[in-house]
């Protein structure tokens, strides 16, 4: 870390905690009524690999993320007998949304926030004169930061610290159990690993300090210990991901008492469109009857993130071959490949060219137009061994023709091209695993004839 970054890092850290101190100092003046939130679903504000569990990673400088999450929880707050059997439902239905987003001002530091909105909260607490339904209310605004200490991409294990602060912005905190009724704040420690290219694991351990209050059963609620465990599995890299997580909280003064320790398990998936737009869908169930632990939950979210697109390292790239991204116009040779500089990416099982490959093809079109001595270019489509032979030949042929169509649209003469689909018949490497299959799914362009 150089001096400039270190200075910025210290200033941002001091500023964040200075802001927290001012908020805490203002509490006695505000004279707010302590309460608590029955909303246990708190999606991450940044571009995490999970739903509510944070990854240690941070995006590049000036990258951002924003989105909206919707979830429905049944019976998130109940009253039970001494055997923890349900006797009365206090919140029978809770439909909430969360607006969340973050920004990376400098490498290694992310700042973000989350604002919950309650669209439906069926509260039944006659003894406390709390009867309400179908109210649209705000929850407590949460301000988050993340400071990356150990880079997972370099050291295989990642470590970050994530301070947070909640502001009492809930419109009916006491009536609807929708907010803490006061400022709270704390810190999460985030540790994660990536044992292979398809699997990630993350552990979050945190502490939240808050003003003490009691629930309807006169149980004290004060500071919380926060726990989260996440598992992510890439079914199709950068496209389909399965996400599993377990989230738990416990009141420190009533450590792991079942009533004050909500635990929830969730399972879902994420579909990524054009490498930046994520569609999330999942569900969960409470494993205890602690406050905010529902019988079941259904969740959905849409997020957009400006993120880096990992490149595929293809073996066999020769320095002597043509590199269209770095080469100045010069002589070309019969048999040379023009696509070694970058791979051409397509949508899964389709012939639609992905946006990340358009700059490569634009430069390739310029290169071909500058080299008028080229008479024929052979555009080859190839697939891996997944799928039937006939299907693979058709798909590879359609992808090759899609590349030709795009280049012609950029002004290249149609008569220059000859396209062919080989299917899986000419692999670059053996189809032993997904990494090798990814290398075999390709379109290549060769100089076949010169004038």
| Bigger pLDDT: 69 vs 77 | 69
* Whole-number Å distance between alpha carbons of 187 and 32: 23
Are 325 and 363 contacting, i.e. CB atoms less than 8 angstroms apart?
yes
Q: Which CATH superfamily hosts domain 311-451? A: OmpA-like domain (3.30.1330.60)
Q: What does the radius of gyration of the chain's CA atoms come to, in whole angstroms?
A: 27
Residues of the chain with CATH 2.40.160.40: 12-305
314 by DSSP, 3-state: which? coil
Residues of the chain with CATH 3.30.1330.60: 311-451
* pLDDT mean over 172-192: 89
Cα angle, residue 364 at apex, residues 358 and 366 outer, rounded to 5°:
105
Are 318 and 340 contacting, i.e. CB atoms less than 8 angstroms apart?
yes
Tokens representing residue 161 in the block: 């610290």
pLDDT in tens, 71-98: 999 988 876 555 555 556 688 889 999 9
Are 249 and 223 contacting, i.e. CB atoms less than 8 angstroms apart?
no
| Torsional sign, CA 240, 143, 264, 157 | positive
Question: What value does the mean pLDDT of the chain take?
Answer: 83
Q: How would residue 129 be classed by pLDDT, with cut points 50, 70 and 90?
A: low
Are 431 and 384 contacting, i.e. CB atoms less than 8 angstroms apart?
yes
| Bigger pLDDT: 263 vs 81 | 263
* pLDDT mean over 182-194: 96
Q: Tell me which H or E stretch contains 66.
A: strand 64-80
% of the chain residues with pLDDT over 90: 51
Are 55 and 49 contacting, i.e. CB atoms less than 8 angstroms apart?
yes
Instruction: Give CA separation, 143 vs 23, 46, 291, in Å.
Output: 12, 12, 23
Q: How would residue 124 be classed by pLDDT, with cut points 50, 70 and 90?
A: low
| Bigger pLDDT: 114 vs 363 | 114
pTM over 0.75: no
Strand ranges in 157-276 using DSSP code E only, listed in sequence order: 157-167, 184-196, 199-209, 213-214, 220-221, 224-236, 240-251, 263-273
Topology of the domain comprising 12-305: Porin (2.40.160)
Q: How would residue 26 be classed by pLDDT, with cut points 50, 70 and 90?
A: very low
| Torsional sign, CA 416, 421, 425, 428 | positive
32 by DSSP, 3-state: which? coil
Are 135 and 119 contacting, i.e. CB atoms less than 8 angstroms apart?
no
Residue showing tokens 């919140």: 91
């Amino acid at each position: 870390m150089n001096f400039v970054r270190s200075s910025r890092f210290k200033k941002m850290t001091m500023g964040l905690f200075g802001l927290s101190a001012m908020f805490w100092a203002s509490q006695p003046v505000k004279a707010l009524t302590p309460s608590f939130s029955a909303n246990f679903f708190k999606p991450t504000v940044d571009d995490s690999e999970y739903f509510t569990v944070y990854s240690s990673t941070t995006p590049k400088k000036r990258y951002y993320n924003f989105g909206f999450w919707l979830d429905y929880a049944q019976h998130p707050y109940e009253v039970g007998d001494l055997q923890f059997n349900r006797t009365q439902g206090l919140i029978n239905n809770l439909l909430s949304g969360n607006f969340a987003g973050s920004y990376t001002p400098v490498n290694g530091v992310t700042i973000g926030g989350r604002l919950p909105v309650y669209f439906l909260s069926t509260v039944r607490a006659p003894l406390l004169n709390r009867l309400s339904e179908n109210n649209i209310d705000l929850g407590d605004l949460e301000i988050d930061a993340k400071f990356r200490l150990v880079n997972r991409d370099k050291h295989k294990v990642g470590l970050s610290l994530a301070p947070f602060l909640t502001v009492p912005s809930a419109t009916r905190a006491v009536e609807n159990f929708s907010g803490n009724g006061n400022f709270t704040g704390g810190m999460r420690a985030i540790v994660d690993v990536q044992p292979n290219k398809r699997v990630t694991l993350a552990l979050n351990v945190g502490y939240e300090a808050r003003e003490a209050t009691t629930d309807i059963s006169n149980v004290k609620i004060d500071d919380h210990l926060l726990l989260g465990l996440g598992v992510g599995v890439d079914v199709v890299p950068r496209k389909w991901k399965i996400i599993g997580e377990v989230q738990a909280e416990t009141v420190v003064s009533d450590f792991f008492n079942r009533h004050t320790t909500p635990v929830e398990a969730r399972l879902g998936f994420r579909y990524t469109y054009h490498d930046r737009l994520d569609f999330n869908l999942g569900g969960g169930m409470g494993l205890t009857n602690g406050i905010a632990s529902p019988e079941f939950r259904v969740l959905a979210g849409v997020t957009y993130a400006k993120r880096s697109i990992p490149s595929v390292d293809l073996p066999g790239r020769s320095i002597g071959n043509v590199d269209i991204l770095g080469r100045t116009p010069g002589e070309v040779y019969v048999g040379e490949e023009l696509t070694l500089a970058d791979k051409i990416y397509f949508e899964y099982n389709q012939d639609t060219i992905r946006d990340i490959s358009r700059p490569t093809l634009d430069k390739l079109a310029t290169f071909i137009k500058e080299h008028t001595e080229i008479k024929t270019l052979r555009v080859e489509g190839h697939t891996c061994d997944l799928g039937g032979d006939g299907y693979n030949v058709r798909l590879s042929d359609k992808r090759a023709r899609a590349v030709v169509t795009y280049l012609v649209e950029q002004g290249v003469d149609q008569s220059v091209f000859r396209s062919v689909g080989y299917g899986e018949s000419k692999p670059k490497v053996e189809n032993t695993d997904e990494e090798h299959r990814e290398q075999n799914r390709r379109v290549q362009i060769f100089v076949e004839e010169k004038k």
